Amino acid sequence: MAFNYDKDFDNIDFRKHPDQYQVGRGEQGVLLVEPYKSEILPHWRFKTPEKAKESSEKIHELFEQYKQEDDFVGMDMARKFLQMGYTRARRYANYKGGQKYDENGQINDRDIDEEKAEAAQIFEEKWKIVRNDEAYLEKKRAHQKEFG
């Protein structure tokens, strides 16, 4: 099922209406789903390994908090932010300034930044932990079965 970007994201509180939440693929909707975006985004940083470590640990803490609260949407949103930390840091690790494409739409040459690669690895480790969490996987299957 394709992710529905036509929802009225500005007016849906997904904590109150988890039935309106769609998991989607990868990071889809990560910057749209409230109140989770506002709770997680202020902690999302990947510029240096130190910032990535602090950020990924805080987002993992939020994941665990949402799990304790039996809040699947929060768990999935934390997973998406960890995944996005990995993909964005990896993009900046591979391409100077994070610019994969030049002005003609051609892929720029890779220029590996080891510091950004380390930041990506830090996020990847936390992302793997949460995406393989048994409680998360169980709640994800149940949510998708009930709500798509």
Q: What is the pLDDT of residues 104-124, one digit of tens each?
A: 999 999 989 999 999 999 999
Low-confidence ranges of the chain (pLDDT < 70): 1
What pLDDT, on a 0 to 100 scale, did the predictor assign at position 1?
63
SS (H, E, C) the chain: CCCCCCCCHHHCCCCCCHHHCCCCCCCCCCCCCCCHHHHHHHHCCCCCHHHHHHHHHHHHHHHHHHHHCCCHHHHHHHHHHHHHHHHHHHHHHHCHHHCCECCCCCECCCCCCHHHHHHHHHHHHHHHHHHCCHHHHHHHHHHHHHHC
What pLDDT, on a 0 to 100 scale, did the predictor assign at position 102?
93
Average pLDDT, the chain: 96
What pLDDT, on a 0 to 100 scale, did the predictor assign at position 2?
77
**With pLDDT > 90 as the criterion, what percentage of the chain qualifies?**
95
What pLDDT, on a 0 to 100 scale, did the predictor assign at position 130?
98
What pLDDT, on a 0 to 100 scale, did the predictor assign at position 112?
93
